[in-house]
Amino acid sequence: MTSKQIIADTLALQPTPRQAVTVFSGGAWALTSSGFSLEKALSSQAETIANVLYDAYTGVDSDITWAMSGYNNIVIGAIGGKIKFRAKGTPDVIEVLLKKTSDVDHINLDTIQDHEQVRFLLEVTRNLAKRAAGTYHVALTRWGPFTLAGLLYGAENLMRDIYRDPASVHHLLDFTTELYLRYAQGYIDNGVDFALLAEPTASGDMISRKHFEEFALPAFTKIFTALRKKNVNTALHICGNIENRLDLLNGIGAQLISVDYKVSLKKCREIFNGKTAFAGNMNPVAVMQRESPEGVAAACEQCIADAGLGGAYVLMPGCDIPPTTPIENLKAMTQTGRARNQ
């Protein structure tokens, strides 16, 4: 059975012959381990970078290949925002684009795929999809609408307006939802068949359950509904402790809920059992980057035990891995997962 089928069956809550296991995102890791910064990769040949990504993910036996992850903020640059590349790691947004939420009314989303860096990312994706065809999912991870809203308008401004001007927040989220879907469509057209929304700003450490339900959840549901109509598999990752809102995530259209190390996999099994697949939750720094391979394997065994055999679980780090994560640790994770029969 191919890795693609293993993941597909897990998302469909069907039994699989072994544990599904994958790197989470890892674009900066995949490029750094091959001598590229994210900025340098943008000036290389698309086919070369596609091969680097394919070889990195398949070289550690990941069940998913990721299409140019780590470039989440490129789309903000494509609509006029200011971003800055790091020597290692992912680029940052260095200045908010919106002075007020109504400024989104003057942004033209039709120009996104004309942006030079976006065109390059799509070309890499197309080449990666050719190599992965039939064997691996080609997955996209990009900021979801709530996090995009915070980056464009400023997280503090967003949180303030949730209380002072909720109508303006809904207006902004309508825009960022459309922004996500327009941007994702380019990747879908070039071979992406799995999309993960990354939502650090919707964390339980930042907004209440009430506001999560009122503002973030409707935007997620709209996106997942649209993606499923395009036969794209769907996943949601929210950073921080979200145990008090796990129950809200059943039935929103996300086939996989990814949680970080603050969330109990036993709690996930209780809430999602028979309804939604789930993934996580090894600490990407304390475990995946800093532990020995033996320590990683032990943490993976504990995750598998907590998730429960046959629990529609994907063994995966609890967030994007650091660029300097040792390859030996990633292999320890995937080998532990692949050795476990369901």
Kindly write down the DSSP assignment for every residue of 82-129, as one continuous string: EEE--SSS--EEEE-S-SSGGGGGG--GGGGGGSHHHHHHHHHHHHHH
Predicted TM-score (pTM) of this structure: 0.96
Tokens of 88: 């290692």
What residues have CB less than 8 Å from 103, skipping those under 6 apart? 97
- Separation CA 114–CA 16 (nearest Å): 41
User: One-letter amino acid identity for 171?
Assistant: H
DSSP 200: G
Quote the number of domains for the chain.
1
- How far is it, in rounded angstroms, from Cα 115 to Cα 71? 14
Q: Where are the beta strands (DSSP E) in the chain?
A: 20-21, 64-66, 82-84, 92-95, 137-143, 194-198, 233-238, 256-259, 277-282, 313-317
Rounded distance between C-alpha atoms, residue 10 and residue 24, angstroms:
16
Other CB atoms within 10 A of residue 302 CB:
12
pLDDT (tens digit, 0 to 9) for every residue of the chain, 342 residues total? 999 999 999 999 999 999 999 999 999 999 999 999 999 999 999 999 999 999 999 999 999 999 999 999 999 999 999 999 988 778 999 999 999 999 999 999 998 999 999 999 999 999 999 999 999 999 999 999 999 999 999 999 999 999 999 999 999 999 999 999 999 999 999 999 999 999 999 998 899 999 999 999 999 999 999 999 999 999 999 999 999 999 999 999 999 999 999 999 999 999 998 899 999 999 999 999 999 999 999 999 999 999 986 769 999 999 999 999 999 999 999 999 999 876
Closest CA relative to residue 68, chosen from 161, 232, 184: 184
Please report, for the domain that includes residue 54, its CATH number: 3.20.20.210
Domain of 176 in residue numbering reads as 3-338
Integer-rounded Cα Rg, in Å, for the chain is 19
